């Protein structure tokens, strides 16, 4: 294993508390696909009123594959500017090459990121063996001046990191946790158990399995639904933390259908549409993502209403 003492990781402290709920915020675009920074400011003011632990910038919901390097960095800078003390800013610094990911990580650190989140490179999927991924993440951890959070998203990358690889990577002092979006509760429980001696923190990557993840030792979640139902997702976390499992289970059940329609079923365009419905700014996506049809928007609105969450628009 690479030794942290040799690289930029010496500047990073392992302990950064990731507990709580953080939304992976969408990038707000104008109709011409330029970034609507004024709308970002409006959204941040609304989000800051909720008991969120922080924000994830340039994750999948941020449409980062469609953005230029400077745009990605500027988004981090702007979110940092609007984030109050005590809330984290985690930046998605993933690039396809190892060196580009290191460079992006440090530029995002300079822009104000407290930590970076790194997904598996996947263009050359068949070559991304556990050994190749291990070297990639260790080099990134060694070169990043801020802590690194692993991001396992098999639905998008086609690569599912196994528990043995995650557990091995967790030994590096600058790899402090992971966002697990695969939904395998058995794997989450195993990783939590096998990394308890290195203070490695696991975050549920979807509200759909937030509560069971918390019950097996996850410390919180990076959850898209929190972009418009932040209070409710944070309430699941609070109830579970206080041992109020009956109430937590009831609320967790109510959010399943709304969460599914804005993630698995219709994806980022639906997430943005739901934000519009709940008084925030979602706006359009960048091409080639397609806008929703009127029927799809109606489905989203009715799904939230049936679950007891009434849109304001």
Residues with a catalytic annotation lie at 179
Tell me the torsion sign for CA atoms 156, 24, 249, 212. positive
Collapsed DSSP state (helix, strand, coil) of residue 150: strand
CA distance 262 to 248: 21
- For residue 281 the two structure tokens come to 């700014």
285 touches 269 (CB < 8 A) = yes
Whether 181 and 153 have beta carbons less than 8 Å apart is answered as yes
Find the helix or strand (DSSP H, E) in which 180 lies. strand 175-180
DSSP secondary-structure letter at 264? I
What are the helix (H) ranges across the chain? 37-47, 69-82, 98-110, 130-143, 154-157, 163-169, 185-194, 210-215, 230-241, 245-254, 256-260, 268-277, 294-306
């Amino acid at each position: 294993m690479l030794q942290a003492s040799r690289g930029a990781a010496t500047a990073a402290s392992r302990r950064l508390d990731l507990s709580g709920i953080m939304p992976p915020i969408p990038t707000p675009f104008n109709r011409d696909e330029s970034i609507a920074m004024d709308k970002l400011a409006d959204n941040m003011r609304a989000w800051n009123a909720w008991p969120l632990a922080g924000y994830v910038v340039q994750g999948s919901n941020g449409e980062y594959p469609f953005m230029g390097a400077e745009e990605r960095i500027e988004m981090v800078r702007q979110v940092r500017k609007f984030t109050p003390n005590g809330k984290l800013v985690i930046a998605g610094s993933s690039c396809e090459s190892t060196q580009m990911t290191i460079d992006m990580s440090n530029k995002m650190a300079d822009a104000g990121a407290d930590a970076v989140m790194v997904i598996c490179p996947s263009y050359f999927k068949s070559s991304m063996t556990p050994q190749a991924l291990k070297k990639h993440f260790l080099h990134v951890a060694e070169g990043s001046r801020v802590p690194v959070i692993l991001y396992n998203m098999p639905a998008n990358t086609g690569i599912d990191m196994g528990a043995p690889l995650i557990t091995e990577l967790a030994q590096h002092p600058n790899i402090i946790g992971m966002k697990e979006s695969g939904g395998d509760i058995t794997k989450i429980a195993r990783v939590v158990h096998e990394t308890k001696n290195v203070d490695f923190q696991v975050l549920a990557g979807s509200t759909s399995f937030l509560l069971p993840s918390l019950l097996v030792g996850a410390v919180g979640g990076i959850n898209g639904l929190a972009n418009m139902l932040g209070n409710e997702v944070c309430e699941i976390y609070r109830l579970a933390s206080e041992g109020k499992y009956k109430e937590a289970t009831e609320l967790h059940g109510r959010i399943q259908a709304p969460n599914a329609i804005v993630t698995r079923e219709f994806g980022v365009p639906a997430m943005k549409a739901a934000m519009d419905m709940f008084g925030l700014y979602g706006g359009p996506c960048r091409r080639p993502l397609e806008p929703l049809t009127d029927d799809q928007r109606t489905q989203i609105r009715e799904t939230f209403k049936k679950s007891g969450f009434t849109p304001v628009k």
